[in-house]
């Protein structure tokens, strides 16, 4: 009976939201490596592969970070800005009872979850920061509601010079077996099935539960995006014409350059028309001169060239 109630409660909480993190691109700051196992055993992508039946860190369903680090960071790229409702984390337990005697509880303590439009957590929204859990109270499966918009969901933990609460591990880790990010695949909609359009026509991002606008479309501002953003519209109307003008100028310059190159090639071909490709040797009493060197273009010039060559040749050479 209790299990049935738990499942129904979970379904009610998730509603029809999609796990928008499933199979998406992932990264971590300090990957764990070992020569005894393939690196993909602990790869960052294991946290979004949809597998969470085995929470042992060495069995290929979890991501592990390197040992002896003061900072641990893992993130998933949702591929675009999405409307998020809640985030669920399955932490490494090694399939051992999750209590004070499980050493991995100390590694989970103090963690943070962020949603950001970049991989820089400080530019995003802090969804949750653990300031209260102890080794006895921290859950192995943790869920936090975070109704915001963003492209990156970031898990962060640190162990710099303390002091930290009792029970904290000496070093930071991100040992995540699964991270699920539930929300809407398409912006501009809200509701438990992501089927209700945002009430405000010019609203791009609205609260996933209430529909309250959280971000206007370009060119609009105000609480309900009812005001035109003159600065944004001016920038669009000014930047695009300038951009198109620059592109047009570049294309025109390239066209002129190609045109004159073609004309130049044709001119050179016409200038050499009728001239034998072989060198024409002009022999005058042992003096050899080439046709190209005399710039001969017709019969009359040829005769003149020969005559001049004969006059300049000393009689002693004859």
- Tell me the per-residue pLDDT of 51-100, one tens digit each, with 9 for 90 and over: 999 999 999 999 999 999 999 999 999 999 999 999 999 999 999 999 99
CA dist., res. 181 & res. 83, Å (int)? 10
pLDDT at 138 > cutoff 80: yes
Q: Is the dihedral of CA 282, 286, 287, 289 positive or negative?
A: positive
Q: Is the pLDDT of residue 23 over 90?
A: yes
CATH number of 2-185: 2.60.120.260
Distance of CA 21 to the CA centre of its chain: 16
- Min mean pLDDT across 18-32, 53-67, 173-187, 278-292 is at 278-292
Tens digits of residue pLDDT in 189-225: 999 999 999 998 899 899 999 999 988 988 898 878 8
* β pairing state of 141-145 and 71-91: antiparallel
Phi-psi label, residue 129: left if phi above 0, alpha if psi -120 to 50, beta otherwise: beta
| 35: its two tokens | 């020569």
Q: Where are the domains of the chain?
A: 2-185, 190-228, 281-312
**Residue 151 CB: number of other CB atoms within 10 A?**
19
Give the best-scoring range by mean pLDDT among 186-190, 271-275, 294-298. 186-190
Residue 147 reports pLDDT greater than 90: yes
Task: Report the pLDDT averaged over residues 20-34.
Answer: 96
Whose tokens are 């009812």? That residue is 226
- Beta bridge partners of residue 41, listed in sequence order: none
Indicate if the pLDDT at residue 301 is higher than 80.
no
Q: What global pTM score does this model have?
A: 0.69
Measured at the alpha carbon of residue 183, what is the angle toward residues 181 and 188, in degrees to the nearest 5? 145
148-152, 192-196, 223-227, 289-293: which is most confident: 148-152
* pLDDT, tens only, 7-17: 444 444 556 89
**For residue 152, pLDDT beyond 80:** yes
Among candidate residues 210, 169, 176, the one with its CA nearest the CA of residue 83: 210
- What are the CA-CA distances from residue 72 to residues 41, 110, 311 (Å)? 18, 11, 94
Cis bond before residue 264 (omega within 30° of 0): no
The H or E element spanning position 107 is: helix 105-108
| CA end-to-end distance (rounded Å), the chain | 127
Mean pLDDT in residue range 217-246: 70
pLDDT over 70 (residue 148): yes
Alpha carbons 174 and 170: distance in angstroms, whole number: 14
Report which DSSP code applies to 279. Answer: P
Burial of 49 (0-12, 13-18, 19+ CB in 10 A): middle
Phi, psi of 141 (to 5 degrees): -115, 115
E strands, the chain, are: 18-19, 25-28, 71-91, 112-116, 125-129, 141-145, 149-158, 176-184, 189-190, 196-197, 203-206, 213-216, 220-221, 227-228, 281-284, 287-290
Q: Is 180 helix (H, G, I), strand (E, B) or coil?
A: strand
Give percent of the chain with pLDDT exceeding 90. 55
- % of the chain with per-residue pLDDT over 70: 73
pLDDT over threshold 70, residue 24 = yes
297 vs 257, more confident? 257
Tell me the pLDDT band of 270, cut-offs 50, 70 and 90: low
């Amino acid at each position: 009976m209790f299990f049935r109630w738990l499942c129904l409660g979970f379904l009610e909480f998730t509603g029809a939201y999609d796990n928008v993190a499933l199979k998406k691109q992932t990264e971590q700051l300090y990957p764990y490596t070992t020569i005894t196992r393939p690196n993909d055993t602990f790869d960052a992508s294991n946290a979004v592969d949809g597998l969470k039946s085995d929470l042992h860190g060495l069995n290929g369903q979890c991501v592990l970070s390197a040992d002896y680090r003061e900072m641990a960071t893992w993130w998933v790229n949702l591929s675009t800005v999405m409307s998020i409702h809640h985030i669920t984390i399955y932490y490494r337990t090694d399939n051992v009872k999750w209590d004070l005697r499980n050493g991995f509880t100390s590694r989970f303590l103090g963690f943070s979850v962020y949603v950001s439009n970049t991989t820089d957590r400080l530019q995003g929204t802090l969804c949750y920061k653990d300031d209260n859990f102890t080794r006895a109270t921290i859950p192995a499966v943790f869920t936090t509601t975070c109704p915001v918009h963003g492209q990156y969901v970031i898990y962060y933990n640190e162990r710099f010079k303390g002091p930290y609460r009792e029970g904290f591990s000496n070093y930071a880790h991100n040992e995540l077996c699964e991270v699920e990010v539930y929300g809407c695949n398409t912006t501009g909609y809200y509701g438990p099935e992501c089927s209700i359009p945002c009430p405000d026509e010019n609203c791009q991002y609205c609260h996933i539960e209430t529909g309250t606008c959280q971000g206007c479309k370009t060119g609009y501002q105000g609480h309900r995006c009812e005001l035109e953003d003159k600065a944004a519209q001016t920038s669009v109307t000014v930047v695009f014409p300038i951009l198109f003008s620059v592109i047009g100028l570049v294309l025109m310059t390239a066209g002129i350059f190609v045109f004159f190159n073609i004309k130049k090639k044709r001119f050179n071909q016409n200038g050499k028309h009728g001239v034998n490709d072989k060198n024409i040797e002009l022999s005058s009493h042992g003096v050899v001169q080439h046709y190209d060197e005399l710039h001969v273009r017709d019969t009359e010039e040829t005769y003149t060239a020969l005559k001049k060559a004969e006059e300049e040749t000393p009689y002693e050479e004859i």
